[in-house]
């Protein structure tokens, strides 16, 4: 009989679940959501008055992205703890509003790397949540060990990080953007410089200038096109992924409710899961 619920009854059930989910939110989480949304709306209005159409679209995208935590909770059947949810919300704000509109990517050193480290942590949390839901699902006949669950979280994070770098590379080449920021370096090593064509690496050190089409770039070194930025992003993504994977491993192995796990490890919502799989 429970599978023959009317559309109205299903809608009311979802509304009750949503109300219950919101009641479980910490006051700090709700305050952070409210403040950030107000700031984004304020920036959107200001950008509209100034005719900054691209910034308006960025603000609209940010408002949509701020719905991601709620979507993840409903789709994965998990409850995001306050620490992780606030991290996700602040990350979206820092990446889109501060990074893009306020130009922090250019004006603040290591802003991009800090965000990529955080994103590696968040991606690992999402991967961990999906695997943990399967681990506890009554209809699944296998159970992942704590080590393998941590490995799934790590690999999921690195996969998303690599796909993002492919996306940046594609945008830069197709639309002539500069998402992969270039780096000025003073030394290069390449087999392409070997005059004997015997695949011998040749190093040029202490590069002070580069001339292109007869004109000096005046950069004080060689302009690397995106490689250092991409590899740096992947390395810090790895750091974030490792940190969460280690936390997830010990949480899964010992099931200890430490302060760290309470703040950052998603919890499977058993009632939510039962509703999704009826």
In whole angstroms, give the CA distance from residue 249 to residue 150: 5
Between residues 273 and 233, which one has the greater pLDDT?
233
Q: pLDDT (tens digit, 9 = 90+) per residue, 192-228?
A: 999 999 999 999 999 999 999 999 999 999 999 899 9
Residue 1 has pLDDT above 90, yes or no: no
Q: What percent of the chain has pLDDT over 70?
A: 86
Of 166 and 24, the structure prediction assigns the larger pLDDT to 166
- Please give the pLDDT value at position 18: 57
Output the pLDDT for position 139.
Answer: 66
Average pLDDT over residues 108-122: 96
Please tell me the predicted confidence (pLDDT) of residue 220: 93
Give just the sign of the alpha carbon dihedral 14, 16, 19, 25: negative
Instruction: Quote the pLDDT of residue 134.
Output: 79
Instruction: State how far the alpha carbon of 40 is from the alpha carbons of 90, 106, 216, 254, 261, in Å.
Output: 12, 20, 42, 41, 30
Q: How confident is residue 80, by pLDDT bands cut at 50, 70 and 90? A: confident
pLDDT of residue 241: 97
Domain assignments of the chain as residue spans, ordered by start: 2-176+229-276, 183-224
The pLDDT score that the predictor gives to residue 248 is: 92
- Name which of 35-39, 203-207, 250-254, 269-273 the model is least confident about: 269-273
pLDDT at 273: 44
CA atoms of 155 and 162, how far apart (whole Å): 10
What average pLDDT does the segment 60-80 reach?
Answer: 89
pLDDT tens by residue, 162-198: 999 999 999 999 999 888 989 999 999 999 999 999 9
Residues 6+ apart with CB under 8 A from 81: 262, 263, 264, 265, 266, 267
**% of the chain with per-residue pLDDT over 90:** 64
**What's the mean per-residue pLDDT of the chain?**
87
Asked if residues 276 and 196 have their Cβ atoms less than 8 Å apart, the reply is: no
234-254 pLDDT, tens digit each = 999 999 999 999 999 998 887
What is the C-alpha separation between 93 and 74, in angstroms, rounded? 22
pLDDT value of position 275: 42
pLDDT digits (tens, 9 = 90+) for 117-167: 999 999 999 999 888 887 776 666 567 889 999 999 999 999 999 999 999
Identify which of 144, 129, 147, 117 has the alpha carbon closest to the alpha carbon of residue 235.
Answer: 117
Counted residue by residue, the chain has a size of 278
More confident residue, 58 or 253: 58
């Amino acid at each position: 009989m429970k599978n023959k619920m009317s559309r109205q009854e299903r809608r009311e059930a979802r509304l009750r679940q949503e109300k219950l989910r919101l009641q479980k939110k910490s006051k700090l989480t709700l305050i952070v959501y409210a403040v950030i949304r107000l700031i984004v709306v304020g920036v959107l209005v200001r950008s509209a008055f100034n005719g900054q159409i691209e910034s308006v679209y960025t603000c609209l995208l940010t408002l949509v992205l701020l719905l991601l935590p709620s979507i993840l909770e409903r789709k994965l059947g998990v409850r995001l703890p306050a620490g992780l949810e606030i991290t996700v919300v602040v990350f979206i704000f820092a990446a889109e509003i501060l990074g893009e509109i306020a130009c922090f990517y250019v004006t603040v050193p290591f802003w991009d790397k800090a965000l990529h480290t955080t994103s590696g942590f968040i991606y690992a949390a999402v991967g961990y949540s999906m695997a943990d839901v399967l681990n506890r699902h009554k209809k699944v006949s296998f159970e992942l060990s704590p080590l393998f669950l941590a490995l799934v979280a790590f690999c999921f994070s690195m996969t998303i990080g690599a796909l993002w770098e492919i996306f940046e590379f594609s945008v830069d080449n197709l639309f002539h953007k500069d998402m992969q920021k270039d780096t000025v370096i003073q030394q290069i090593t390449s087999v392409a410089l070997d005059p004997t064509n015997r695949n011998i690496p040749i190093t040029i050190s202490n590069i002070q200038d580069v001339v292109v089409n007869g004109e000096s770039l005046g950069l004080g070194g060689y302009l690397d096109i995106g490689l250092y930025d991409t590899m740096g992003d992947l390395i810090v993504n790895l750091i974030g992924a490792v940190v969460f994977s280690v936390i997830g491993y010990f949480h899964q192995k010992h099931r200890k409710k430490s302060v760290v796990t309470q703040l950052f490890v998603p919890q499977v919502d058993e009632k939510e899961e039962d509703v999704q799989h009826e």
